[in-house]
Amino acid sequence: TSDSPTIASPLARPPQATARNRSPSPEDLPRQIGPFRILKALGKGAMGAVYLGEHKDLGLKVAIKVILGMVDPELVERFRREAKTVIGLWHPNFVRGFTVDLDHDPRYIAIEFVEGDDFDKGIGKYDLYEKIAKRRDVCRGVQAMHEKGLVHRDLKPANIRLDVAGRVVVMDPGM
């Protein structure tokens, strides 16, 4: 009957959790996250949004990955593993991590902003020998993870960038 109490399923997600599944609109852009002034939205990932930010004092441009919507403890743990990976692994062919805040809202990781193209789009301008060298650099970035006992769980061309100087950068380890 309509007078019976409603029992929530432990598997049901609250309606607010769907907020992280939509792309950020200009109205949703925060003005600042931590010490970074937000310049624009770059996109939406599996865990939230990615913004282009600039450090307010240093002028350093970074990509800022933010958890959106309801904060699921499992999601925060995955984000924490990713933060440890990108901040703890320094290799020329792996994205550099700069800072993280997982204790305050919004929870974020600030990483190197790699201006350039996705691997599959950018690789076409190189000759055969350069293409082989670029693929070798992908392997070097992934090998750096393996040497730390880590596995990239989402390796695909969209998670590999060729920066404007032609450097290969493995990104978004999908932890």
pTM reported for the whole predicted model: 0.78
What's the rounded Cα separation, in Å, for the pair 122 and 140? 18
pLDDT tens by residue, 149-171: 889 988 999 999 999 999 999 99
Provide CB contacts within 8 A for 150, sequence distance 6+: 85, 89, 173, 175
Helix (DSSP H) and strand (DSSP E) numbers for the chain: 3, 9
Token reading at 1: 């009957």
* Residue 170 β-bridge partners: 94, 160
| Active-site annotation holder among 105, 154, 163, 172 | 154
pLDDT tens by residue, 84-114: 888 889 999 999 999 999 888 888 999 999 9
Q: Is residue 115 very low, low, confident or very high in pLDDT (cuts 50, 70, 90)?
A: very high
Q: Is residue 81 very low, low, confident or very high in pLDDT (cuts 50, 70, 90)?
A: confident
* Residue 109 β-bridge partners: 65, 100
Residue with tokens 């691997």: 119
Known catalytic membership, residue 154: yes
What's the rounded Cα separation, in Å, for the pair 164 and 122? 10
